Homo-oligomer: A and B are copies of this chain.
Amino acid sequence: MKAEILAVGTELLMGQIANTNAQYISSRLPDAGIGVYFHDVVGDNPERLRQSFSLALSRSDVIILTGGLGPTQDDITKETVSEVLGRKLVLDRESVEQLEEFFRKRNRKMTRNNLKQAYFPEGCRIIRNRNGTAPGCIIEEEGRTIVLLPGPPSELKPMFEETVMPYLASKADHRLESVYVRIFGIGEAEVETALMDLIDGQTNPTIASYAKDGEVMLRITARYQKDGTGTGLIGPMVDEIRKRLGDAVFSTDNSSLAEVAAKLLMEKKMTISLAESCTGGLLAAKLTDIPGISAVFDRSAVTYSNRAKVEELGVRQETLEKYGAVSEQTASEMAIGIRNVSGTDLGVSVTGIAGPGGGTDEKPVGLVFTALAHKDGVIVKRLDLTGDRARIRNLTCLHVFDMVRRHLLSIGK
């Protein structure tokens, strides 16, 4: 089946945002055995949307429209699609109730134009929206499947995953199964060299590698029949890759380093607390992004000022004066300090220079020290990172989660 993704929104044509919805949907559809052949973007203009949608109908089996489902006058997707298909827009009672509920919950008054969002093309299947006011819908028209989804990614993604993917997968004749092998600590070139024969030799499954903010990801994709014949091709390939790359492989179920570290903490019932300087809470934010983490995560002290480091963590004034806030010694005392204060099994600390300012010749932007205090001692690691503030903070988090992961694996043995 050929799919086309038609995004509606002048904000895309003005360059205010990139069309990440098309990227997201395109990355998922192959898992339903569907190939994407075209992306289009049009503004909030009925005539041009009519043209583009008609063209899509003439050349694609699956047409996914994103955006233009809001309550305002320039939200025209449902209206234009209905017109082209010659269908009436009919009011959906349940949607009205959910809209009223949505506004009641927020103590906000529902204006008349919100009602617009409760009208749908006759005979469509409505997709509920848990995260916003605009429901989506699926229309079957002469062998074509037309899907309407709202523009905000936080609304589109769950609707796509929970309703659209299963719906489309059930129609396809074959499946593509992908497994992501995620790797941290070695570069893409090194990974490719180690796997060259596998990457070249394979047709099913295929292996594609790409580098992604500090880690390397391998996508292993196998094609099999809907009835299941041809399955089981991926497992042996993953085992072979693990054998060659060892501990550098941190997940094969697409979970992140943070999720892997968190899972190990929960499995081993090891409690943890953090002391953050340059990451400024990002480490705690990423860890507490994971449901259930409260069972092992006690606290994080985001100690930006030296005073806070001394007061909250018991870092010694002399240490700060002699070695500076960004030093092996301070990182070590921060980790030991937060572990003592909170009484957790592990205490982890970060101190560094994220930039853009604050760098010197002997302590440049990108210099970061991170430490892990455990019952038998403390591990300190020096990182020399490059890039802008956001990249340095993100890479630091990856290194910290990897340090925790490797420590927990080592004591597991």
Contacts and interface: CB of A to CB of B under 8 A. Distances in A.
A16 B27 contact: yes
A149 to B, nearest CB: 15
Contacts of A351: none
Nearest to A209: B72
State the number of copies, please. 2
A384 B105 contact: yes
Majority secondary structure of chain A interface residues (helix, strand, loop or mixed) = mixed
Interface stretch (A82-90, A229-237, A242-250, A281-289): A281-289
B281 A213 contact: no
B288 A298 contact: no
A210 interface: yes
Contact of A70 (B180, B188, B389): B188
Interface string A290-333: 01111001111111110110011000000000000000000000
A155 to B, nearest CB: 8
Interface string A186-226: 11111011000001000000001111110001010100000
A304 B298 contact: yes
A226 B154 CA distance: 40
Interface string A56-88: 000000000000001111100000000000000
A26 interface: yes
A386 B99 CA distance: 13
23 contacts: A14-B221, A16-B210, A19-B39, A38-B42, A40-B41, A74-B208, A107-B384, A131-B386, A131-B388, A151-B210, A154-B391, A279-B285, A280-B285, A280-B297, A282-B285, A291-B357, A294-B304, A294-B305, A298-B304, A298-B305, A298-B307, A298-B308, A299-B301
